[in-house]
Chain A
């Protein structure tokens, strides 16, 4: 077999002939001399597709056997085993296909079930003071950048607080809650749920609602976020899925971060829509218990869409919320 022998300690090289002997020896021949080693004493590098067979000789010399196929075949016959099970996997299309299916299947399972379930367990196990801390921090940040103090009258606030207490008593579970009123300015009609049971409602939302039942429905929806620990789960899911994506695409340069960004955004949007559906279910439970038409939630949602100039009929893969019409349909199905 043809091979190239590289010196130890310098880049000098020469062409040599190698052969494997039945005695388990590797013989290296050039014009001047013949040397021989016991195969067991040599380091045979793992086989890489399309590359020569590489052997490290005891003195630091490097042997590159050009006729790699011949070498590996004789080597396997002599030693009774091949060189590297990883290369064996890579060279069988069935094994490659299996790897592809396992990878796609595991990633899909991880993304649809594994990560959400793990996040649910982890979020439930999160100590209460961690939740309190995150909630307070988020509230402070939002007050600084998004909100200004509410313009609602004290009497109106008391009415809404009573409504909120009623919602909490029905679907709030064991958590502590506080209802916060803020003027939304740039964000318009909206409501938010933070960890630690903080629910924020903007003045604009209160004004947009035509009936108390609509506000109750939105409050119940936000309480649904708190009960289901959605903030914490969102945090865990986005970090873990980002980690997974990096693991899959880790060997790309920084330019490819852009390509990786799209799946990450789509994934987080999909998780978000799932949370919204879960929160809607809590709202529906409350509305049913008070014998209110489930469509009340949808009515307000459609009006919020109109206020933002959105189409209630559609939600794209990039949206954080399902389409309002879809949510209305979900209510009708109950």
Chain B
């Protein structure tokens, strides 16, 4: 093989940082999206795995880091098989829910028991089929650990009436990050970060929700007494309507998105790929606003603005990410051995709407 021309063998100067970026455009993606959708509907859903691959190829292909882009390699036929089985199970579940609730409970319990397994399979499939510079990502088949973390911390969350939830969420994120690798470079979550950091974010959000709730209740009471009515909302004019209905919905949605983004930002910031440190500079109000306006754009356009919303979010997310390079150069990552993984876990998870994200 050809040798890289190195800079006279001089060691790298102080850490360089490579920014991630997204080059997709709403116009291009709209065309891909609508053709995908049309073919999926016309073929009664059979085309949907090809649509998924094409969509991901576009989104990954336009995600850049250090002059190279990502790629998605899933085999549509594998996805179709997984999807057929998942849809069959979902249909069985829905029909039995209507006819024999006891049976559907059994299926539901079975699926719930399989969640840790599904999570691992889903991550394995997703990582196995993601590449950067012709080297695949990988997720280790850590089934036992997944059961311990997910079932164990679920029980702990229930016993502590939810107080342990931040720790449960942390453990899940840690499981996902620590078992992912890019070629032979392992990812790991910073040891300094722990469940207590997650706890701080959730309690902060809780306090914010409480304070704003109280202020709104107070303002509403003031408004009601000012406008005379005996506290009846119908007598309060537009401003009361805004304060009592529209503003709380907007605020709590934004808070939900902001909290979720804060958690993800913390995870991303604390993730290293061997000696390369990931950076994340998302602005929380900014990203909440994007989520919120996307939501309204999608609802009000009956879905036609989905491509625009997707591209906009992706652009913002990637623009806020960067990688500070360490001693493990991205130019010399060796691919690790990875086996093919069936799409079953991924598709069952999708069919039953489990969120396997960070």
Contacts and interface: CB of A to CB of B under 8 A. Distances in A.
Given A103-B41, A250-B48, A11 B34 contact: no
Interface string A42-67: 00011011110010000011100000
A99 B295 contact: no
A155 interface: no
A107 to B, nearest CB: 7
A236 to B, nearest CB: 9
Majority-rule SS of B interface residues: helix
Interface in A224-264: 235, 239, 247-260, 262-263
Interface string A22-48: 000000001110000000000001101
A220 B28 CA distance: 56
A100 interface: yes
Interface stretch (B9-17, B50-58, B207-215): B50-58
A51 B31 contact: no
Contact of B1 (A7, A31, A51): A7
Contacts, number: 151
Nearest to B353: A254
A50 B62 contact: yes
A202 to B, nearest CB: 25
A256 B38 contact: no
A137 interface: yes
Nearest to A254: B355
Contacts of A31: 2
B31 A10 contact: no
Interface stretch (A84-92, A160-168, A281-289, A324-332): A84-92
B85 to A, nearest CB: 16
A12 B4 contact: yes
A99 B34 contact: yes
A10 B302 contact: no
B32 interface: yes
A247 B41 contact: yes
Nearest to A141: B101
Contacts of A146: none
A143 B24 CA distance: 56
A86 B299 contact: no
Interface in A164-216: none
A260 B305 CA distance: 12
Contacts of B37: 99, 103, 248
Interface string A1-14: 00010111111111
B226 to A, nearest CB: 25
18 contacts: A7-B134, A10-B135, A10-B333, A11-B333, A12-B4, A49-B31, A50-B28, A51-B69, A61-B134, A100-B34, A103-B34, A103-B38, A134-B98, A248-B303, A249-B303, A251-B52, A256-B294, A258-B295
Interface of B: 1-2, 4, 23-25, 28, 30-35, 37-42, 45, 48, 50, 52, 54-55, 57-58, 61-62, 68-69, 71, 94, 98-101, 132-135, 183, 253, 257, 260, 291, 294-296, 298-299, 302-303, 306, 310, 330-335, 350, 353, 355, 357
